[in-house]
Amino acid sequence: MATKKVKKRKPRAIICDIEGTTTSVKYWGECLVPYIKFNTKMCLKSRWDTPLLMDLINNLRISTAADNENGANIPAIADTDRSRDVIIETVSNNVIHQMNNRRYGKALQHLQLYVWYYGYQKGDFRGHVFEDVSRAFNQWHNFQNLKVYVYSSGVYLSQKLLFSCSVKGNLTPLIRDYFDVETYGSKTSGDSYMKIATKIGVKTTNLLFISDNPQELNAAKGVGCDVLLAIRPFNRELTDEEKHGLETIESFDEIAFT
């Protein structure tokens, strides 16, 4: 059966969300989170005494102490005079506790990134992208002279790691840049898309934003961006009201520029 086509005026740049758009919503919960929980100790033992790791652990120790002074109840990290194994055990307990309690401090994020980088380097896992993503990125970048960007709640480095070590190989040569909410603001705020447009050097009317989140799409649409709603396996089922006024795609292959 022929793939349906959704015709769009050719933009100057395309911005893609990650979770639920280029990548399965299951990737975080079924791959990245378990990897941290079951491999942090191994990572720390194999990289022990490296200056960067020592700095990351100390930053987590300091931020935990500060949070606990403000009423948090996070497992403390052992002091530097304790043995390697004791420190590693307390770091692991700290990280797992914070993840289980949905804490997102910078010191925690930086240590998580370190462990994920270790896993990507070892080849323990690969960044998930849907089958059509690499094909579309290649077509847009190499044959249609379109700039491809990524905008996600995940920090810059986590985005780049995913696409550099993806199941389809290194896709970073096809991606011009990565935007995160820490730098550009909430994805449900129109101002964020205006900031990105300024950074890219194009008008919002020359941007196409693809996401699985109607709130994000409506925010982008409200400041002039063209938008498409991605419907992917395992995404939350949306109501007709949420999808109102939004064109949908199930694959990037369906997009036809005119």
pLDDT, tens digit (0-9, with 9 covering 90-100), for 157-178: 999 999 999 999 999 999 999 9
Q: pTM of this prediction?
A: 0.96
pLDDT, tens digit (0-9, with 9 covering 90-100), for 106-136: 999 999 999 999 999 999 999 999 999 999 9
Q: What is the spatial distance between Cα 117 and Cα 40, in angstroms, rounded to a whole number? A: 11
Give me the CATH number covering residue 205: 3.40.50.1000
Domain match, 46 and 70 both: yes
1 located within any domain: no
159 located within any domain: yes
Domain match, 197 and 181 both: yes
Domain match, 90 and 18 both: no
Task: Give mean pLDDT, residues 65-81.
Answer: 97
pLDDT value at residue 4: 87
Give me the CATH number covering residue 51: 1.10.720.60
| Partners of residue 13 on adjacent β-strands | 147, 207
Q: Which residue has 């089922």 as its token pair?
A: 237
**Considering 97, 122, 147, which residue would you say is the last residue of a domain?**
122
Domain match, 143 and 217 both: yes
Question: Which residues form the domain of 55?
Answer: 29-122
pLDDT value at residue 1: 46
